[in-house]
Structure 1
Amino acid sequence: MSISLEYPWLLILVILPLFIFRFSPAYLQPSASIYLPFFARLIRATGQTPTSGNQVQQRKRVQMLALLLSWLLLIVCLARPVLLGEPIFVGKTGRDLMVAVDLSQSMEQKDYQLDDETVSRLTALKSLLVSFSEQRKGDRLGLIVFGSGAYLQVPFTEDLTLWQTLLTQMDTQMAGPATAIGDAIGLSIRAFENSSTEQRVLLLVTDGSDTSSRLDPVDAARVAATDGIQIYTLGMGSINTLGDDKVDFNTLNKIAVVSNGKSFEASDSNAIAKVLAQVNDIAPASYQQQSYLAKTELYPYLVGPMIILYTLVWSGLALASFVARRKAIKYESVYQGVINASDNSENKQVADSLKEEA
């Protein structure tokens, strides 16, 4: 912990009183005087040079010290002294990543190996996506499921646990038996409208061809590209597959090209893992960290003592002035009493000495 000044350049004002005392005229306070009609003749007769009857009131030493100390404290307060605490780090999301998963009936096929066990395509994909999401700390993840239609399952969130939970709960045909790739891309575009990040990525996973979209997939990809969305396509199946289960790799490749993304083939679980690792390398998780120092303002702790000091000094001076005036009035009364009691010169001399003492 340390002390710092927010506006240290204001400390130069400390020397301002020196310029005022040096270059500005002193304040003259009028004093009591006697009016003489023959003042001019008196001056000529005595040969003296008349001077101003005004006086420059001299401050007492304690008064001067209090003023200087108050001025110094005031300037220090204007410079805003702060107590710096330990740095506080705040993380900021760097990238929004949407994952669109095909839940058509063909994802039920058990032709993928996972831990020496034959599992369905969807089961293998879920397991590998969970591992993939754990490497995306710092990103916001979203989830879209699509079949005959496309549905936003999870809006962009930094809560990876929630994302993983909803991912594992999805099942085939919950979005219909067909495949609407174009609608999934269109829905992701709408999801990205509320995104404030500049880095936007869509991971599109499917094992078939577009069969029910109202929006052409390639045209949707062009629109996504204008919004700065990169699309990485992942075709689950072999390029040699024929029939209804054939993956339209040609369309997936076009989608990736027009959106400045990449297209991948994942014919088995190992291939999926390698593809997700490549996606991590191409578009690594982005995490921007900001830090700031906790600051405690110190000027309230200076202003309080300054006000107390100022009040005590001026209260003491006012009290001393009051006592002096009362004492002067007392001696003036004694002086008048002596004058009234006797007119002889001896008593008058005593009265004068009392007045001088007062």
Structure 2
Amino acid sequence: MTHAILANTIDEGFRLANPWALLLLLLIPLLAVLKGRRGQQGAVVFSSLHILHRMGTKAKSRAGGIRMALVFLTITALTMALARPQNVRTSETISESGIEMILAIDVSRSMQVDQDNFTIGGRQVNRLQAAKKVTRDFISGRTTDRIGLVAFAGRPYLASPITLDHEWLEDSMQRIQIGMVEDGTAIGSAIAAAAKRLDTRPAKSKVIVLLTDGVNNAGQLSPIIAAKMAKTLGVRIYTIAVGSYGDFVIQTPRGPQRLVQEFDEETLKEIARIGDGEYFRAQDTGGLEKIFSLIDDLEKTEVKRNITVHAKERFPIPASVALVLGLLTLIGNETFWRRYP
């Protein structure tokens, strides 16, 4: 199965995994209130206050303030560590399961008829030119599909293997032309060649789009038998008849030649029925564009979207700060701020 994967970041930010831990910050004002009510009790009783002044009461008071500040900062840092701050990145992964497809395009001499209603940019063109333009537009919209190209007249010719390189495929489409293989219309052989290529592919959905303006008159294989063979391989077939009934003049190596246009619509309909597809008829460029638009809608690509949240823990930073502040407080209690009985 063809897969195309696109990953992109849709949001970045910061969060606390355990915000309830911030309630511990209420301990700070509570400790401050308790400290203020209880006051500082001396460990030694003095007979005269002027002795306290001589021992540096103001310095002791500052030391006590520093100690309480360290305690409060330690509680704050520890609380932030328990709240688990995180840098968060939310990413979206889009996985598309594409279709394996072969476009089988008729390049027999009748495809050079330019007396139909096929136009490009207001300029009248022949059937093949219109088909190439519309199929190129179709290819450009199937970005996740692997598509191949078979050109056929008296026999099939692999113009492009099944590929995801649509730029190469469109160039191959541009290169196919009338007269590149011997004349005739080998519809059965074209279906068989396309089905054989698709048979080895791993995709769940395999499709042939067959575009022709004539009647099967070449090749050793019946179109109906070829369609049944493709069916057993799990290949779906869409058939498109292009052009109008009537008498036309085409150019051949021996000069102008009269052509009486014929379509074997019943056979094309039966091929589509056997292949679980659809039969279409296009008599102008607009009609051909609508047909390929319908096929585009019928052959939808499966798209899966997964949202992933990546969290990078930042609690080691406040935890380290809390550890350092706690150690400083303990060291201070045992040295600078130690009270003697």
Q: TM-score, normalised by structure 1?
A: 0.56
2:264 matched to 1:251? no
1:320 offset after TM fit, Å? 5.9
Equivalent residue, structure 2, for 1:177: 183
**How far has the Cα of 1:251 moved from its partner?**
2.5
Q: Is 1:146 paired with 2:148?
A: no
- SS class of match (1:298): strand
Whether 2:322 is the aligned partner of 1:309: answer yes
Query: CA separation in 1, counterparts of 2:236 and 2:83?
Result: 56
1:217-252, CA deviations, whole angstroms, 9 ceiling, x for partnerless residues?
A: 323323433444321112235567899964433332
Query: By how many angstroms is 1:259 displaced?
Result: 1.0
The corresponding residue for 2:134 is: 128
Take 1:292 and 1:12, find their aligned partners in 2: how far apart are those partners? 29
Of residues 194, 218, 240 in structure 2, which corresponds to 1:234?
A: 240
1:185-223: CA deviations, max 9, x gaps? 23333336435354x432101233445545543233234
- Matched with 1:262 is 278
Corresponding residue for 2:88?
83
Equivalent residue number for residue 298 of structure 1: 312
Q: Indicate yes or no: 2:96 matched with 1:92.
A: yes
- Seen in structure 2, the aligned counterparts of structure 1 residues 264 and 307 have a Cα distance that, compared at 3 Å, is same
* Residues matched between the structures, number: 270
What is the CA–CA distance in structure 1 between the aligned matches of 2:173 and 2:156, rounded to whole Å?
A: 17
Superposed CA deviations along residues 122-168 of structure 1, whole A, max 9, x for unmatched, are 22322333444456566554322223233151524373x54433312
In the alignment, structure 2 segments of 5+ residues that lack a partner are 1-11, 23-66, 248-257
Alignment partners' CA distance in 1, 2:172 and 2:301 = 24
Equivalent residues of 2:88, 2:309 under 8 A apart: yes
Alignment pair present for 1:273 and 2:286: yes
Write 1 or 2 for the structure with the bigger share of helix: 1
Tell me, in whole angstroms, the C-alpha distance in 2 between the residues paired with 1:231 and 1:221: 8
Q: Percent identity between the aligned chains? A: 22
User: TM-score, normalization: structure 2?
Assistant: 0.59
Change (3 A) 1:123 1:281: closer
Whether 1:73 and 2:81 are equivalent positions in the alignment is yes
Q: Please, which moves more after superposition, 147-156 or 88-97? A: 88-97
1-side partners of 2:265 and 2:126: how far apart? 20
Note the aligned Cα RMSD (angstroms). 4.5
Q: In the alignment, residue 294 of structure 2 is paired with which amino acid? A: D
Task: State the distance in 1 between where 2:107 and 2:328 align.
Answer: 85
Q: Measure, in 2, the Cα distance between the counterparts of 1:287 and 1:91.
A: 10
Q: Secondary structure at the match of 1:123?
A: helix
Taking the aligned partners of 2:317 and 2:194, their CA distance within structure 1 comes to 59
Find 1:167's aligned residue among 158, 173, 179. Answer: 173
In proportion to residue count, which structure has more strand?
2
Larger radius of gyration: 1
Task: Establish whether residue 225 from structure 1 lines up as the match of residue 225 from structure 2.
Answer: no
1:303 CA drift (Å): 1.3
SS in structure 2 at match of 1:173? coil
The Cα of 1:256 is off from its aligned counterpart by 0.6
Separation (CA, whole Å) in 1 of partners of 2:20 and 2:193: 61
Higher relative contact order (CA 8 A, sep 6+): 2
Deviation at 1:257? Answer: 0.8
Alpha-carbon deviation of 1:99? Answer: 1.5
Q: What do residues 161-184 of structure 1 show as CA deviations (whole Å, max 9, x unaligned)?
A: 544333122112324434333333
Gaps of 5+ in 1: 15-59, 328-356
CA gap of 1:282–1:293, structure 2 versus 1, over 3 A, is closer
* Cα distance change on mapping 1:72 and 1:254 into 2, 3 Å: same
149, 162, 187: which one pairs with 1:155?
Answer: 162
Structure 1 distance, partners of 2:219, 2:324, is 82
